Amino acid sequence: MHIHRIAVVVALSLLVCAQASAQTPASTYPNRPVRIIMPFPAGTSVNDVLGRALAQRLSDRLGQQVIFDNRSGAAGTIGSEMVAKSPPDGYTLLLAVTGPMTIAPFVYPKLGYDTLRDFTPVALVARAPYIIVIHPSVPAKDLKSLIALAKARPGELLFASAGTGGTPHLCTELLMSMAGIKMTHVPYKGGAPAMIDTVGGHTQLYCTSVTNALPMLKQGRIRTVGVTPMKRSLALPEVPTLDEQGLKGFDVAQWMGILAPAKTPSAIVQRLQQEIARLVNESEYNKFIVQQGGEPAYMAPDEFSALLRSELERWGKLVKAVGVKPE
């Protein structure tokens, strides 16, 4: 009888263990608040606005609060590293954008993360088109006349950026490389001072997001010579692309997506991906993205992974070619 009782206890224990093992983290995910780390300051970009709205809507869908947490510094690399080193349990996610993921790895030699090794793609959410703006005093009406002016006055035109190695900086470096021109870089600590000095005429050119440029364009305080993606902006459909104006293949836009730490369980990634896909396809959030100057651009994990690889290759070549160094 004693042996029989032991056998029964062992059998029951094994059953309990089997049931417990069936309770995978994904089956109860999430059972506490989720954090989305934004690696830049609050209110400084369309990515911040869209990311906050995404977090709010995900809270409703997941049944748990999704906290939007700004952790800025070192061109977005501090917040990105924080996520890379977080537990892979789906409770700490990254609002990933172009600069820290695909440009910084070639600018900062001692970066604390590897984009492909340390992150798991969840979903791409949106793209934010960029635009080349100039001060009204610049005697150029389109890309052709701007290139002619820069060739006639090599190094004299000053171009602003939100910081060395960021997308606005590399956008203009790509313009100079493809057009065969030379301008002088003036880096600022953020997009706001870069725009202020361009509006004030202290710098003559700035590659920035359509969202940031729209208010000043409407007031006539700056002009544009073209948008930088391959397709025209939904917010400024009348403005031609640089590709249309002769710089074939010129394609620069900020993209925004969600990454999780590497080795996050696939079932958790799938749950998040499905909810984000539904959100991006909802007309309300879709319209909100466009109203903010962005464009819906959903990608599933495999597609997002392919984008990261192609962007790393493209920006890596440019950074090496122009010799970009950290500030």
Q: Which of 229, 186, 192, 218 is nearest to 204 (CA)?
A: 186
C-alpha span between 209 and 127 (Å, rounded): 10
Same domain, 63 and 210: no
Phi, psi of 122 (to 5 degrees): -105, -55
Name the more confident of 166 and 36: 36
Q: How many domains does the chain have?
A: 2
User: For residue 227, what pLDDT is reported?
Assistant: 97
C-alpha span between 130 and 75 (Å, rounded): 18
Asked if the model's pLDDT at residue 4 lies above 90, the reply is no
Same domain, 211 and 278: no
What count of Cα atoms within 13 Å lies in the side-chain half-sphere of residue 199?
A: 17
User: For residue 3, what pLDDT is reported?
Assistant: 52
Q: Residue 145 maps to which CATH number? A: 3.40.190.10
Same domain, 46 and 96: yes
Asked if the model's pLDDT at residue 22 lies above 90, the reply is no
289-316 average pLDDT score: 94
Same domain, 135 and 119: no
Same domain, 56 and 123: yes
C-alpha span between 18 and 125 (Å, rounded): 38
User: For residue 207, what pLDDT is reported?
Assistant: 97
Asked if the model's pLDDT at residue 300 lies above 80, the reply is yes
Under the banding of pLDDT at 50, 70 and 90, the label for residue 21 is: very low
Cα–Cα distances (Å) from 47 to 96, 98, 325, in that order, read 9, 11, 25
C-alpha span between 102 and 104 (Å, rounded): 6
- Does any domain span residue 11? no
Same domain, 82 and 154: no
**81 Cβ neighbours under 8 A, 6+ residues apart:** 111, 112, 113
- Does any domain span residue 49? yes
How would you class 178 by CB atoms within 10 Å of its CB: exposed for 0-12, middle for 13-18, buried for 19 or more? middle
Asked if the model's pLDDT at residue 144 lies above 90, the reply is yes
C-alpha span between 112 and 246 (Å, rounded): 39
The structure tokens listed for 219 are: 């007031």
Under the banding of pLDDT at 50, 70 and 90, the label for residue 25 is: low
The answer to whether the beta carbons of residues 98 and 167 sit under 8 Å apart is: yes
Same domain, 268 and 223: no
Q: What is the pTM of this model?
A: 0.85
- Does any domain span residue 8? no
Under the banding of pLDDT at 50, 70 and 90, the label for residue 327 is: low
220-244 average pLDDT score: 95
Asked if the model's pLDDT at residue 200 lies above 60, the reply is yes
- Does any domain span residue 327? no
pLDDT by residue (tens digit) across 59-112? 999 999 999 999 988 888 999 999 999 999 999 999 999 999 999 999 988 899
Containing 222, the helix (H) or strand (E) segment is none
- Does any domain span residue 239? no
Same domain, 134 and 223: yes
Same domain, 103 and 53: yes
Containing 56, the helix (H) or strand (E) segment is helix 46-62
Cα–Cα distances (Å) from 309 to 198, 303, 313, 326, in that order, read 33, 10, 6, 22
User: For residue 147, what pLDDT is reported?
Assistant: 98
Asked if the model's pLDDT at residue 15 lies above 90, the reply is no
The CA dihedral of 66, 69, 74, 75, to the nearest 10 degrees, is: 60
Asked if the model's pLDDT at residue 252 lies above 60, the reply is yes
User: For residue 159, what pLDDT is reported?
Assistant: 98
Under the banding of pLDDT at 50, 70 and 90, the label for residue 162 is: confident
- Does any domain span residue 316? yes
Same domain, 146 and 208: yes
Same domain, 64 and 96: yes
Asked if the model's pLDDT at residue 240 lies above 90, the reply is yes
Q: State which residues form the domain around 188.
A: 129-227
User: For residue 42, what pLDDT is reported?
Assistant: 86
Under the banding of pLDDT at 50, 70 and 90, the label for residue 324 is: confident
